[in-house]
Amino acid sequence: MSEQSIPLIDCCSMRLDPDTLGHSLCAAAQGHGFMRLRNTGLDATLLQRAFASSQRFFALPEAAKDRLRYRDIQRNHGYVAVGQEALDPLAAADRKESFTMRDALRRSSNDAAWPDPVFRDDALDLFTAARALAADLLDAMGRCLGLKPGHFAQHHQGENQTLRFLHYPPQHSGDAVAGAGAHTDYGSITLLWQDGNPGLEVSAADSTWMPVTADPDTVVVNIGDLLERWSNGLFRSTLHRVRPRHPQRSRYAIAFFSDPDDTVLVAPLAGCVPAHQTPLYAPVTAREHILRKLAASYG
C-alpha cells in the first residue's frame, strides 16, 4: 500500500477483537480521514435491493420525481434534481440527482414521503442496518479515545441520520462541472456504497486528488466535521469530490450520514485536548452546524 492510498480494513477477524478494530479505524481516521471496510457483516441483499430501488426511481419521468421534491433543509427529505445542490458553494451546482431521507424511520408511515412501498421498505431496511453498523464503528473509535461503550450512540438517536441515494448521469472525465463539488461531510461518520463506477476522489496531503477504488464489496467510511471537532482535530474531516469518468454509463452511490441529534453540543473531548492547551474548536450544536452547511449548499 502506498502512502497515497486509502486503507482497506478487513473487519471479519477484528469483530471478535474490538480493540484491534478500534485501533485500525482510529489510525485511518487520523490519517486520510477515509477508509474502506470489508466484511462488515452488513447483508449484501439489502444493498442490492436499495440500488435496484434507486435505479428504478431515478429512471422515472422528471414530473414523477418532482412530486417528491426536497422542500426545505429543516426536513432534509426528498428528491433533488440535477443542478440544484452545490456541495462546493463556490463552484457550479453538482451534476447529480439525489433522494435524501433524514430520520427515515420516523417518516416511514407518511406515504406521501415515499415513491412507493417497495422503495420505502428497501430504504428503511438499509437505514436500519447502516445505523447499527455506524453505531458499532463509532463505539470502536470511542474505545480508542477512552470513552465508555455507547458514548456516541446516545447522541445519535436518528434525528440527523440520513440515507441518500445518488445518481450521477454519464460524464466525461474532462468535464468542468463536477458530479459533486469539493466538500467535507457535516456530521460524525459517513458510510458510502458505490456501484463499481469510479469517481470519488479524496484530497491528499500534497493537495492532489486521490481516486478511491469503487469496489461494490467494500464500504467507504469517512469522518465528518463534527467528529473532527469532537476529537479536537485528531480525526480528520477530509475534502472530497465526485468526478465520474464514464461518458456512457451512469454512476450510482448510496450514502448514510450518521450525525448527532439536533441539541447535542459538540465540544472537544477533554481526553483529546493536550494538557495546558486550549481546545482547537468552540462548542457548536449539531443542528447549528448541519443547518449552516445545508443552507450554503442549497443557497
Ligand X SMILES: O=C(O)CCC(=O)C(=O)O
| Chain positions contacting ligand X, by CB under 6 A | 166, 180, 185, 192, 194, 200, 240, 242, 253, 255
The verdict on 259 binding Fe ion (CB under 5 A) reads no
Beta carbon of residue 10, minimum distance to Fe ion (angstroms, whole number): 24
> Closer CB to ligand X, residue 156 or residue 164?
164
The verdict on 185 binding Fe ion (CB under 5 A) reads yes
Which of ligand X, Fe ion, none does residue 161 bind (CB under 5 to 8 Å by kind)? none
- Are 253 and 194 in contact by the 8 Å Cβ rule? The answer is yes
Burial class (CB in 10 A: 0-12, 13-18, 19+), 295: exposed
Amino acid at 161: Q
CB-based contacts of 66: which residues, under 8 Å, 6+ apart?
A: 79, 81
Enter the C-alpha cell of residue 204. Answer: 491528499
Beta carbon of residue 199, minimum distance to Fe ion (angstroms, whole number): 12
- Are 80 and 102 in contact by the 8 Å Cβ rule? The answer is no
> Closer CB to Fe ion, residue 60 or residue 182?
182
Which of ligand X, Fe ion, none does residue 97 bind (CB under 5 to 8 Å by kind)? none
CB-based contacts of 226: which residues, under 8 Å, 6+ apart?
A: 186, 187, 188, 259, 260, 266, 284, 286, 289
Beta carbon of residue 131, minimum distance to ligand X (angstroms, whole number): 17
Burial class (CB in 10 A: 0-12, 13-18, 19+), 179: buried
> Closer CB to ligand X, residue 14 or residue 80?
80
Number of residues in the chain: 299
Which of ligand X, Fe ion, none does residue 191 bind (CB under 5 to 8 Å by kind)? none
Question: Taking CA 217 as the corner, what is the angle to CA 214 and CA 221, rounded to the nearest 5 degrees?
Answer: 70
CA distance 77 to 152: 24
Beta carbon of residue 186, minimum distance to Fe ion (angstroms, whole number): 9
Which of Fe ion, ligand X, none does residue 42 bind (CB under 5 to 8 Å by kind)? none
Residue span 30-59 as binding mask against Fe ion, x where in contact by CB under 5 A, dash where not: ------------------------------
Of the candidate spans 32-40, 45-53, 181-189, 197-205, the one that interacts with Fe ion by CB under 5 A turns out to be 181-189
SS3 state at 60: coil
> Closer CB to Fe ion, residue 103 or residue 185?
185
The verdict on 85 binding Fe ion (CB under 5 A) reads no
Of the candidate spans 102-110, 131-139, 171-179, 183-191, the one that interacts with Fe ion by CB under 5 A turns out to be 183-191
Which of Fe ion, ligand X, none does residue 231 bind (CB under 5 to 8 Å by kind)? none
Q: How many CB atoms lie within 10 A of CB 293?
A: 20
Question: Taking CA 103 as the corner, what is the angle to CA 240 and CA 116, rounded to the nearest 5 degrees?
Answer: 100
Beta carbon of residue 99, minimum distance to Fe ion (angstroms, whole number): 16
> Closer CB to Fe ion, residue 138 or residue 269?
138
CA distance 48 to 53: 9
> Closer CB to ligand X, residue 182 or residue 272?
182
> Closer CB to ligand X, residue 129 or residue 253?
253
Site for Fe ion, rule CB under 5 A:
185
